[in-house]
């Protein structure tokens, strides 16, 4: 039995081979496996990931209205920007609004909860001293209530004095 084990070990030692690798000290580039440098694949080179940025914010708040109750509000906002050139860029803010608790009833929650395209803005700078800004904003419906200060009321805090020339 010992002879057979020695013969098997001797044969295994002569049959086995070592693996030789000459690129052991070569640095591995992780980015090349994730990012494709071929610009043809990204809409004919129009979209470049180096010109794209994304930021996130999350806010929680609670407001008490004296003896009238209160409201909790959570807002997550994803802000994205893309720079087409040195003179043209596009920015968007997409928000998810949720009111998990309020004393105004389920109807108010349904009115304010949702996904909003809070802001889309395109900025074009034809010269160094001139900016052209096109902007769209969307706010939750409760902010346009006739009982609140929205941007469309004659008695709005921001526009009250401007209507009278001050």
Averaged over 32-39, what is the pLDDT? 59
The better pLDDT of the pair 34, 149 is held by 34
Report whether pLDDT(106) > 70.
yes
pLDDT of residue 165: 38
- The string of pLDDT tens digits covering residues 71-90 is 888 999 999 999 988 899 99
Task: Report the pLDDT value the prediction gives residue 125, as an integer from 0 to 100.
Answer: 92
Domain ranges of the chain: 48-62+69-145
What is the structure's pLDDT at 45?
A: 58
Residue 157 CA, chain-centre distance (Å), reads 31
Query: What's the pLDDT at 25?
Result: 72
Q: What is the pTM of this model?
A: 0.55
Q: What is the mean pLDDT of the chain?
A: 75
From residue 9, alpha-carbon distances to 1, 17, 19, 85 in Å are: 12, 14, 20, 69
């Amino acid at each position: 039995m010992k002879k057979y084990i020695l013969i098997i070990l001797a044969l295994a030692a002569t049959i086995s081979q070592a693996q030789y690798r000459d690129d052991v000290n070569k640095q591995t580039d992780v980015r090349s496996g994730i990012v494709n440098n071929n610009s043809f694949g990204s809409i004919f080179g129009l979209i470049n990931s180096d010109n794209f940025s994304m930021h996130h914010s999350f806010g929680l708040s609670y407001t008490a209205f004296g003896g009238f109750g209160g409201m909790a509000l959570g807002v997550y906002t994803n802000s994205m920007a893309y720079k087409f050139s040195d003179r043209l860029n596009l920015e968007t803010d997409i928000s998810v609004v949720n009111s998990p608790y309020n004393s105004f009833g389920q109807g108010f929650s349904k009115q304010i909860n949702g996904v909003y395209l809070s802001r889309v803005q395109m900025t074009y700078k034809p010269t160094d001293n001139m900016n052209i800004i096109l902007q769209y904003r969307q706010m939750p419906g409760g902010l346009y209530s006739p009982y609140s200060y929205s941007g469309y009321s004659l008695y709005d805090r921001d526009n009250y004095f401007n209507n009278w020339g001050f």
